[in-house]
């Protein structure tokens, strides 16, 4: 709906521009006022959440599995990508879209349905940038976090929020598990993408949302704590 609204606004703006132009037909256009602008500073370094997003985005991928779509992130130098099991469930071929737009084939090397986690592997690990894993045990309610992924297929989307609750019990996979609750906007397609702290360290795997009857984000999202997800990924890779 956000995309539709943006398109309508653009069309409305174009019509208004044409109407305004007609008012000036047959007369000299008024000179444009030169408003003061700050000169661009090409040497200015990114700071704050901009720097955090720039640090993590190269590690985040889109995952295409048949008719399903989700997100994932690179976890090591061996070409392994962590995502949700429900993103790749029941499909054969998996395509990973890297942050620079390249599309590469991936294979599922293992999954844990109870924890809703899966690990993919691509053949060219040198092309990937591993994310830095943090510790979800260090999180506190109110900490600032970013959710990064491909909601509704819009790759490289970054949303911000806070940790709303810790150890929230929700249904993940086939059973009930505890999760990190956040109000960072999470929508369909964010599944499997990273939840990161202000230092750009992955602290969770975005996996579920509480939605109203019409669907979409209402400010209640859940991520699998990385302290639980990382050992599962390590076990899958090792075996």
Q: What residues are annotated to the active site?
A: 86, 116, 191
Cα(first)–Cα(last) distance of the chain, in Å? 43
User: CA nearest 184: which of 210, 155, 159, 149?
Assistant: 159
**Cβ-contact 65, 84 below 8 angstroms:** no
Residue 143 tokens, joined: 């900490």
**Cβ-contact 82, 57 below 8 angstroms:** no
**Cβ-contact 226, 206 below 8 angstroms:** no
E strands present in 7-143: 60-65, 68-74, 80-83, 94-97, 103-112, 117-122, 132-133
Q: How many Cβ atoms sit within 10 Å of the Cβ of residue 60? A: 28
Hey, CA dihedral for 210, 131, 159, 66, is it positive or negative?
A: negative
Look up residue 76 and give its DSSP letter.
S
**Burial zone of 221 (CB within 10 Å; 0-12 exposed, 13-18 middle, 19+ buried):** buried
């Amino acid at each position: 709906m956000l995309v539709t609204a943006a398109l309508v606004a653009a069309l409305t703006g174009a019509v208004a521009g044409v109407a305004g132009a007609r008012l000036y037909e047959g007369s000299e256009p008024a000179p444009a006022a030169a408003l003061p602008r700050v000169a661009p500073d090409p040497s200015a370094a990114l700071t704050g959440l901009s720097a955090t997003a720039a640090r993590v985005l190269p590690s985040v991928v889109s995952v295409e599995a048949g008719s399903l779509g989700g997100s994932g992130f690179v976890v090591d130098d061996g070409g392994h990508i962590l995502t949700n099991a429900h993103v790749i469930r029941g499909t054969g071929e998996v395509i990973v879209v890297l942050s620079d737009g390249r599309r590469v084939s991936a294979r599922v090397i293992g999954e844990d349905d109870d924890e809703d986690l899966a690990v993919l592997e691509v053949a060219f690990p040198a092309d990937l940038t591993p994310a830095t894993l943090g510790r979800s045990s260090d999180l506190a309610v109110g900490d600032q976090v970013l959710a990064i992924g491909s909601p509704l297929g819009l790759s490289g989307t970054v949303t911000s929020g806070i940790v709303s609750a810790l150890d929230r019990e929700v249904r993940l996979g086939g059973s009930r598990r505890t999760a990190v609750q956040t109000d960072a906007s999470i929508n369909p397609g964010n599944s499997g993408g990273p939840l990161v702290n202000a230092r750009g360290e992955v602290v969770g795997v975005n996996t579920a949302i509480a939605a109203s009857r019409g669907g979409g984000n209402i400010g209640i999202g859940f991520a699998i704590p990385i302290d639980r997800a990382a050992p599962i990924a390590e076990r899958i890779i090792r075996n």
